[in-house]
Structure 1
């Protein structure tokens, strides 16, 4: 038998919440710490559909990547999506723990999961942000070597298939894909790090127009593979961590939460 706080402390040992970025709101966000957990659900986001899924599975806890409560809440009512979710969690006695930028940065987290999903080898950090209290280095992004000989169209097709992405946006610099940087989620501002690490190709998401222009000027192949697709790769990792840490707890991966848009 485990309770919510025991699971929180376990996640904190793997992806310390103390290293989250200053703007973030990762942590234990909803519920009672002493509540027992027999079943839990892992999802990229906590939405009304995910909460209903957790309720139908009789889960006592949802663990997500994106924080349910990101901005300071002045009220909790059914008049807005966050309020409805908080109320639904409370009414169904479901707790919420969210591991966000701390999970992005740690070894084995979002960016390692993305690099491994794309078959990169000799993986290293794209940018080191610091060391945690145990002296373990952490940072956003990863760099590795492509798992074969590609030019961008072939590599983009490979990325789309591996990530199950609905669609990609590309800047083709005409260079062979050899040394690849990845940044799960919105990491378009890391182009300088990509160049510093000697990369020819960058896979990330939420890329702004000016970043595509910069990539063209810098001669970098750029792939925007979507926020959901580049980060959802961590959910099976979380499920595996939790299954190994709490073998008596039944762990589910959300089947309801999927990409929020589609491409024509």
Structure 2
């Protein structure tokens, strides 16, 4: 009998593999389920006063099956909370205080880098923080003329900035750009090329295209019309920006994250040199 016939005979005689005749791998153990504790009721959360001072995890219902597991189609009240974009607030009062104490220079454009590097307004990308929200608290005390870029602002905060002849822009940055802007020195030392700014997600695109919100993707003519409407509503003269003014000269392209530095450039702090991409496919990738 040849080897082929022996193999076929072996397959005919050996029973089919199933869960019943397959042994466990050496070293593997069956995980044990959480028991009911020594006394049989508390599921390990304790019965003493010290242990009852600590709460169980979010959604724990004293050993009972949580409602989001009983009713599968009903999501938990905190569903997706860890993915929500956070915008830490900055009040106009605190911004004026930072300017008065020389933490921020109002003669230069103020963006996310200037705010985070001031040491007064920290931002942590690991906590899903995508920028700053300028609030109207202390709007009557705000007297500075600034060119500021934030990621969120309400109408009263916009009016307070433009009432003093300043300019405000509401711009979106993706998380990779926020990492670079939050600590630019650390990012440049890492040897990575400057990233390009990505477009806002679909649920925020209307916000950043809206001239009433001073979105950075809005048309300039519509922005000026909305400035006039806001000035008439709050009773002040609409701002007029001089193109020769150093405060308003610097602008950012929708793909830029740093003033004067294009995406794709590699900055060497040790050599004090800027390396620019030469291949056409790289140039096209960072431009589009």
TM over 0.5: no
| Normalised TM-score (structure 2) | 0.22
* Larger Rg over CA atoms: 2
| Normalised TM-score (structure 1) | 0.24
- Name the structure with the higher strand share: 1
Ranked by relative contact order (alpha carbons within 8 Å, sequence separation 6 or more), the top structure is 1
